[in-house]
Amino acid sequence: MSMRRFISSICLITLLLLSVTSVVAQSSNIPFGHESNDIVNRLEIKSGELSDEFHAVHKPYDRKGVSAFLSKIDTLSDTELTEVDLDLLDYVYRDNMEWSERGRSYTKRGIFKTFYRHPAHFLHADVPNFQIMLNPVVGVRLGMETQEDAAKRSKLYRTYGFELRGQIDDFFGFYAYVTDNQDIYPEYVRQWVEDNNVVPGAGYHKRFRNNTGSDYFQARGYVTFSATDHVHFQFGYDKNKIGYGYRSLFLSEFSNDYLFFKINARVWKINYQTIFAQLVSKYGGPSQLDENLERKYAAIHHISWNIGKHFNMGVFEAVVFARPDVFELQYLNPLIFYRSIEQAVGSPDNAMIGFDFRALIARRISIYGQYLIDELNFGNELGTVNDNGTTLEGGLFSPNKWWGTKFAAQLGLEYVDAFGLGNLDLQLEANFIRPYAYGHSSEIANWSHYNQPLAHPMGSNVSELIAIVKYQPLQQLRFNAKFIHSKYGADDGVTEDFTYGNNIFVTQVPENRPNEFGVNIHQGFLTKINHLECRASYQPWHNLYVDLIYEFRKSKSELASLNTQTHFISGAVRFNIPHKSFDF
């Protein structure tokens, strides 16, 4: 049975089952990068209590859960909301008008009694058994980069398209986002595109302007439906994220969109999520334009549990696998330890397990973290070698720094209304990824999709410190500053099938790595990157932003070809589209 037929069968069976059951409304999601995400996160910290209406670890947030949470926040008299917070509440209510009577109250006559009858939507209909919202998506960003070649100094980003969402009969929800994009990148991004044959966060693209730019079409969409108040389904083509931080070491939104089927069960203080995804194993660039790209699949579980009002813990597991023209049916079990199945079928796949937590303190501070274990081997005889007559043992707790000791760790802190200054928010995050994490002995079972990592964008063999400052003196005016200091062990850039542990796409067999033991973080050509981005954004109309952005990026490496430095100044106007950042 092919994966396409299998997914089609699953969806058809699910729809048939739901058609004979009592169903309730299910909402679309707040897109990644939307300003509402930061607002909701900030208000949850200020409330001092973890939300049961949605769990912040599972992203994107669903609009219905967010609206229910905001309604609860509104009734908490002891939540110290600033005047700007109250304005931001109104902003989110307007943006999610289908789930809030308060959001609907903004409806007026509009332009020609047709357009912008609601300030958040170009066109909308809100009648019994049917809701629909249509908005244009437009973004233009023009900038200058310091380059010796004057022809490469100017940079331009253009995006045009539309966003559509709605519901039918309180049963069937839908969402679509379609854009046409032409981007001329800063040199470090252009080089990344050249090396990986894809656009960051997207897939296939055509090159123009002497290969300095990328022209690509992007479309994502999904349908949603619910079996009960607590069990929801989503099927479509989009991204998902599991984590509280700026980065996720489990599943991030960095890669291209992918086909997925998601089951989300939320009851009491527990949220359990299962994702089945179809991924592209490898894309070789324009030479594969007329070929059927090789597929692989991922099955993901994550359980999130609010223990009391202030502490959340979660458990993550995932497996990525491929079979010729067949889906491994055993991985369809939504309530099982994947590693046990993976061993039972011969251990050919890449299984991972992880733990995460979040704690809210004093209505001001959020502490969060993740810990991922790749290849759960406590003592593997494959890691036993003879080194000058001495037997060395491998395994997760090996004292010999075995190459297969693959894990990643994150620790972060958020501080809202810092030092008593309203709407000043600070975030500090550290990430640490051992060499060879996310890779595999099979060339297709690495934790990636469409030539891009599914977790940290820099792969593995990386350490990183991120500092973010956000200040919003007015609802319409926002300042952001972000500084990232990262270090990694680079490969030589010449030997294709050899890595010191940074490249997750290299097959992990003995001849492709320098040694079995004594493997340290940053081994290889030590490379340090400092990346600063400062942005001022003004919002004269709902979801219309005018941005002024400055970026500085410097890479210093033991490998001379990786030494770069750039200053990039740009201005942008964007409408219903998030700001783009390239942090790798």
In a domain, 583, yes or no: no
Structure tokens at 379: 């003592």
Domain interval for residue 21: 3-377+386-575
**Residue carrying structure tokens 């340090």:** 528
Report the alpha-carbon angle 183-185-186, nearest 5.
160
What pLDDT, on a 0 to 100 scale, did the predictor assign at position 18?
46
In a domain, 485, yes or no: yes
Answer whether 247's CB lies under 8 Å from 466's CB. yes
In a domain, 427, yes or no: yes
Structure tokens at 333: 């079990």
Mean pLDDT by 10 residues, the chain (584 residues): 49 46 64 94 93 94 90 72 91 89 79 86 88 95 79 84 90 92 92 90 84 88 86 94 97 95 92 93 70 85 94 94 71 67 65 95 96 72 49 58 90 96 96 95 90 96 98 95 97 86 90 89 96 97 96 95 93 93 89
**CATH code for the domain of 157:** 2.40.160.10
In a domain, 584, yes or no: no
pLDDT digits (tens, 9 = 90+) for 234-276: 999 999 999 999 999 999 999 999 999 999 999 989 999 999 9
The number of helices, as runs of H, and strands, as runs of E, in the chain is 7, 26
**Residue carrying structure tokens 């690495």:** 446
**Residue carrying structure tokens 């089927």:** 261
Answer whether 316's CB lies under 8 Å from 242's CB. yes
In a domain, 107, yes or no: yes
Q: Could you tell me how many residues make up the chain? A: 584
In a domain, 581, yes or no: no
Answer whether 189's CB lies under 8 Å from 581's CB. no
> Which helix (H) or strand (E) is 65 found in, with range?
helix 63-74
Encode 275-308: b = buried (16+ Cβ within 10 Å), e = exposed.
bbbbbbbbbeeeeeeeeeeebbbbbbbbbbbbee
pLDDT digits (tens, 9 = 90+) for 62-79: 998 999 898 888 766 666
Answer whether 450's CB lies under 8 Å from 280's CB. yes
**Residue carrying structure tokens 């947030």:** 61
In a domain, 580, yes or no: no
Sign of CA pseudo-dihedral 506, 507, 512, 515: positive
**How many Å apart are CA 454 and CA 249, to the nearest integer?**
9
- The count of structural domains within the chain is 1
φ, ψ dihedrals at 7, nearest 5°: -65, -40
Q: Is 116 left (phi over 0), alpha (psi -120 to 50) or beta?
A: left
